[in-house]
Each structure stands twice: as structure tokens, then as C-alpha cells.
Amino acid sequence: MKFTYLLAIAAIFSLTVNAFTEDKNAPGKPSPPTSDKEKRSEKKSHKPMNPRLWFANYQKYNASAKKVQNTADARYKLGKWAWDNGLEDEAWEQWIVAVTLDKNHASTRKAMGYIKKNEKWIRPGTINNNWLKTVEADQRAFNVTMTIADDADQKFLDEFAWRVRRLNWFMWSLTEGQVYLKSVQIKDKATGGRFHVEKGKRDIPVLRGGGAYCIRPGRPNWEVRSGGKCYVRILAHEMCHGIFGVPDERHGCYCLMQGGLFGIKTKDLILCNDKTHRRHRITPNSCWSIVKKKYPKMVQPNKANYGIPPETKIKIINQ
Ligand SMILES: [Zn+2]
Ligand SMILES: [Zn+2]
């Protein structure tokens, strides 16, 4: 169940281009959207970037990141450029530095999705505690340990904590408020975590082989292995292999499990359902149909007022 997402960039170029230029009448192609809402989401979500353009932006970003001034303003601006050019994780890389340099840097806080209320930076929205109880009762509030084999300093671990927060927000939106990370312990010089950064992979960016994968997908003892700078969407993809047992989809289905949907923001990434799933002999079933089999209490679309997820309780153990 290896996931090569951005690992073999050359292969993905052809994969993604093929995926979106396939025969329009191929079996399993989603039927045209009907309602206005569906039309809008179709328009919004079916616009992956040309992978070559994405990669050119990625290279430009890396060149700029090497010489960016270490001020909150400069870091914010580079992050904004990355965000506007399809590089979400790179944007966050800069914003995390900006907010570390100045925790009240308003533009950065705003870009990260925070608003200021009573002199505190918070995420807008309401937590529905009754709803949370139902999620927890069905064992979809996860308490996990994330281990990093190598030694890591506090700065690395603090940055890693942002990855965890974002993973929590993303899993919540992806599952329409039905999965979240309740508590996460991050530990360096350790192994055996539910998520584990293997030895020597602490600083390897995904594009240079920090590729992530899931072992024992769909079983109670699933584990995710990754590089220490893994994209949040990849961690989520692997977590979905783990908790739901959904397979990789390499056949042009618009879904997180396809991978290679360049430039699309995590807030617009979805799991495919029976309407949107693009069937293939290797993946005959939609992700949501598999999810619902695994967790019969999960629903999609979820019409409940599930609100925002609680923030993950993060404990860093720097040893
Ligand atoms: Zn899918
Ligand atoms: Zn699908």
C-alpha cells in the first residue's frame, strides 16, 4: 500500500495528465452536476493545476526560500506567494516561521485561519460538544503517538506540531466532522508511534524521497511511516488507508486517495462518493461506500451541525 504521491514526480506528471485527459465517456465518469451547489463545487474542485506549472512554482519557491529575509513580513509574503501559486504546505512552512518570529503578525494569523477575539487568536466557529460525544463513542476521536527516530530540536518539534493541528482540521473537514485527533504525543529519538518518521528521514522533503506509506491498512494496528516534512494531505491520505482501509485510486477519480491533484487546497479536497467516484476494475467502490461499511454510523453528506473540531491536545516530548 505504498503511496508515491509526489515521490516519483516524473511518473506523476504523466499519471495526472492522463487522469484528466481520459475519454470523457469512460464508464464510471461522474454524471453532470444538477443543483447549483453541485455545479459550484464541481467547478471549484475539478481544477487541478498543470503538474509542470506546479513543479516550476515549487522550484521558484525553493530558490526564494533560500534567500528570504528572516522577518515576519518577508516570511508572510513568501508564504502568500506560495499559497497563491498552489503550494499550500510551502506556504505554511513560511507562516509558521513568521508566527514564531511575531505571534501577533496579523496577516499571517489571518492567512492561517485565525481571528482575534478578546486579544486572543482563535479559529472561528463553534464546537458542538454533543456531536463530539457521538464521534468519540464510535472511536473516531484518535489518541495517537507520533515518533521521530532521529534526534530533533524544539524548533523542529514545534513545527511538527503545526502539521498535527492542520491534520486535525483537515481530517475533520474531509470526513464532514466525523474524525478528529483528540490528543497527539510527539516524541523524538523514539519508534513505534502510530505515525513514525523513519531514521534519516527527518528533513527529507517529500519530493526527494520522504514518501509516506501505510502498513496494515484497515486493521486495528495500522501505522503510517513518512518523512518529517510530509505534506499534510499525504498524512491524511495515509491515515485514511489506515483507519478506513480505502485503496489508492490512480484512475482519475477526483479524490484524496488519487493523489497528484496539484495545487488544490486541502479545504477543497474530498473523498469520492458513489456519485463522484470514477470506477475502475481495481477500485470498483467509492471511498465513502468503504468508509460507511467500516463505520456504519458515519454519514455522507453529513447534514448535522457538527461545527469546528476541538484543537488537538499536543504533548511534545523532546528527549
Ligand atoms: Zn476515493
Ligand atoms: Zn473514487
Q: Is residue 285 part of a domain?
A: yes
* Residues 243, 191 share a domain: yes
Domain count, the chain: 2
What pLDDT is stored for residue 129 in this prediction?
97
Distance 125 CA to ligand 2 centre (A): 30
Q: Is residue 57 part of a domain?
A: no
Looking at all shown ligands, the one closest to residue 248's CA atom is 1
Q: Is residue 18 over pLDDT 50?
A: no
* Residues 289, 173 share a domain: yes
Distance 269 CA to ligand 1 centre (A): 10
* Residues 211, 84 share a domain: no
Task: State the average pLDDT over residues 179-205.
Answer: 95
* Residues 115, 247 share a domain: no
Q: Is residue 190 over pLDDT 50?
A: yes
Distance 3 CA to ligand 1 centre (A): 14
* 143-185 per-position pLDDT tens digit: 999 999 999 999 999 999 999 999 999 999 999 999 999 999 9
* Residues 81, 15 share a domain: no
Q: Which residues pair with 307 in a beta bridge?
A: 127
* Residues 211, 116 share a domain: no
Q: Is residue 246 part of a domain?
A: yes
Q: Is residue 4 part of a domain?
A: no
Q: Is residue 81 part of a domain?
A: yes
Distance CA 235, CA 221 (A): 16
* Residues 76, 159 share a domain: no
Distance 259 CA to ligand 2 centre (A): 11
Looking at all shown ligands, the one closest to residue 237's CA atom is 1
* Residues 205, 194 share a domain: yes
Give the end of a domain, one of 124, 150, 173. Answer: 124
Lowest average pLDDT, out of 111-125, 188-202, 258-272, 298-312, goes to: 258-272
* Residues 24, 98 share a domain: no
Distance 286 CA to ligand 2 centre (A): 5
* Residues 310, 161 share a domain: yes
More confident residue, 24 or 132: 132
Extract the runs of DSSP E, i.e. beta strands, from the chain. Answer: 115-117, 120-122, 141-148, 180-188, 195-197, 213-215, 223-226, 313-317
* Residues 85, 163 share a domain: no
State which amino acid sits at residue 188.
D
Distance 300 CA to ligand 2 centre (A): 14
* 267-315 per-position pLDDT tens digit: 999 999 999 999 888 899 999 999 999 999 999 999 999 999 999 999 9
Distance 291 CA to ligand 2 centre (A): 12
Cα 127 to Cα 178, 307, 309, distances in angstroms: 13, 5, 6
Q: Is residue 1 part of a domain?
A: no
Distance 51 CA to ligand 1 centre (A): 20
What pLDDT is stored for residue 208 in this prediction?
67
* Residues 188, 311 share a domain: yes
Distance 252 CA to ligand 1 centre (A): 10
Distance 258 CA to ligand 2 centre (A): 8
Range of the domain at 111: 64-124
